[in-house]
Amino acid sequence: MRIKKENITAILFFAVICGMFVGLLTYKDNDPINDFLTEYRTEVLPGTPILERLSEAIDIADDIVYDQTCFEEQYNTFYGLIQKLLGKHIITDAGYGEIYKTKYNQIIFKVPKKNFRVMRSLDAVEELKSKLDEAGIPFLYVQAPFKLSDDEQQLPANKTDYADYNVNLFLKGLDERGIKYLDLRPLLRDGEKTQNQLFFDTDHHWRIETAFEATGHIMDELNKDYGFTIDSKYKDLKNYNVETLKKCYLGSMGRRTGRFYSGLDDFTLITPKFNTSYTLYEHDYGAEKIYKGSFYKAILDKKYLVKKAPVDLNRYAVYHGDNEELIFNNNLVNNGKVMMIKDSFGVPVYSFLSLGVHEVRALDLRLFKDSVAKYAKENKPDVVILLYNGDTFNEEMFNFVMEP
């Protein structure tokens, strides 16, 4: 019997799929079924309609299969290498849709128009502001930049990013509603730093140096209009140790394309030279952890500082990242209480900001599910800051869960 090459191809494909499936279930570090159940119980709330449950279950399963596939990194690296050899500036990606290589040899995804979501976000912010006004608590919206801007075309010629479009629409709405904001985009894009100095090449986040500079602008704004007296030494880089680890970091998109396609980033660690003393409370899922000591000891997550760690380690999280609630108590500064609602851009910012004030409370709405206004009224901060980047206009990040 003559065997057709199509049949051989099909058999080989089926064998590879089966092999990957067996590897997914049996690899020593994997526990996909338990992880799926844990994630599903956490993310899918009781009462969610059946179709939404099914949709979210598929998304969770898709993420777990992708993350736990054996040799995932090797697959991605090889795939990215092939794309580079072919000269591709657009890579299809299951998570981002497409990943683009910019004119500055950085990689990024693009943001679509979000007119409806921007309007919904404006309504939510206005309602939060109203609740805070009732309690006499000032509010400040801080706009962090997205990696791409309207100033120049960085993407392939037939692709358009709408992050700045959405931001401009949102800030115009804040103006019309009389809500104060600080737009960091023109302050950071003042021509002194290049695009590659402002943002990681392999990640959508700003570099630590950029986050430090952004914190200085926020300190200035708090001193100018919100009655704070933050010492200018806290925003002067001369008062900090600056250490750069060379070619050690593969950001979130770099992990999708592999190092041969995206390259590797340097990672800079900024820590104070002056004396510091902290108590940091970390709350997640009802559990509390307490860290005490200097900035280096209490604030930094040292597992991200191991010099010979794998390049796909998320070093950006070294400044204590993405928890439901963090409370920074600075024992050497007596005044200034800030409550910050933040996305991942706020991770280095709240750590740097905590150096100049007595208390910073940081909430992440992806995890915090209580009323933000109620939390503010109970803790009485001197200001509530909402800090988001230009890709954060969605229901989850603007769900402040207002009480009746």
10 class by beta-carbon count within 10 Å (0-12 exposed, 13-18 middle, 19+ buried):
exposed
Q: Residue 67: what pLDDT? A: 73
All residue ranges of the chain with pLDDT < 70 are 1-3, 28-29, 42-43, 45, 403-404
Q: Residue 2: what pLDDT? A: 64
Q: Residue 131: what pLDDT? A: 96
